[in-house]
Amino acid sequence: MSMTLADILAPIAPEQLFAEYYDKQPLHVREGVAVPARQYCTRATSRDGHPLPRQDGTAAARFALTSRAAQLGQRLSKLTRNRKAMEVLGKFTADYRYRCGGNDLLADAAPAATEGEGSATFHILTPGTKAPSATLPLAPAEAEAAGWLLSRNDVAEAKLRAAHPAIDATGLLAKLAGAGVLAPT
């Protein structure tokens, strides 16, 4: 049995929904006055029963998807003409941070991972694990550190040491540089 939005909302009147579950009346954004709950919920229920565009790979589905994408592009182009909207969007983008349990995922890994005075920086020459000269025998901990290292463009010795303290960072960087995988910068 498939349920529609009207079936879900049918047992609860809109006024009861806002009174009991939200303990407030919805406000009109522009005018700041209370909006009758029935009028507020009408917009949500008016989309009920309208099918979503098909995504079965047919020509009609591709046309529906491209036409909706074009409509979205037209709306965005109208929005970008508004200077105030672009300022708000720019500020939002600049201030946005991924939040996950109080941890800023875009922040540096740790203060200890900063480059020091004697920290050498290396640039990855060949992405992947195949060295141009030959294969390298690595211990399992070194192989894990090498995988971490090769997933970046540049890496400092201090960052490698902070990320993998169990290995000899200087020795591993020397091995990889000798094999032609890294180049000191």
Looking at residue 88, its pLDDT comes to: 84
**CA distances, 72 to each of 8, 37, 68, 69, 81 (Å):** 29, 29, 6, 5, 15
Gap between the Cα atoms of 167 and 173, Å rounded: 11
Q: Residue 61 — very low, low, confident or very high, per pLDDT cuts 50/70/90?
A: confident
Quote the percentage of the chain above a pLDDT of 90.
0
Question: With bands split at pLDDT 50, 70 and 90, how would you rate the model's confidence at 109?
Answer: low
CA atoms within 13 A on the CB side of 169: 18
Q: CA 181 → CA 18, 106, 108, 128, 176, distances in Å?
A: 62, 27, 25, 9, 5
Q: How confident is the model at residue 113 (pLDDT cuts 50, 70, 90)?
A: very low
Span 151-174, mean pLDDT? 86
Written as six digits, the tokens of 34 are 């209370």
Residue 60: predicted pLDDT: 82
Q: How confident is the model at residue 69 (pLDDT cuts 50, 70, 90)?
A: confident
| Residue 86, pLDDT above cutoff 70 | yes
Task: Give pLDDT tens digits for 19-40.
Answer: 555 545 555 555 555 666 566 5
| Higher per-residue pLDDT: 140 or 48 | 140
Contact 54, 64 (CB under 8 A): yes
Residue with tokens 């008016």, as numbered in its chain? 46
Cα gap 34→111, rounded to integer Å: 50
Contacts 24+ apart (CB under 8 A), 125-128: 125/180, 125/181, 125/182, 125/183, 126/180, 126/181
pTM over 0.85: no
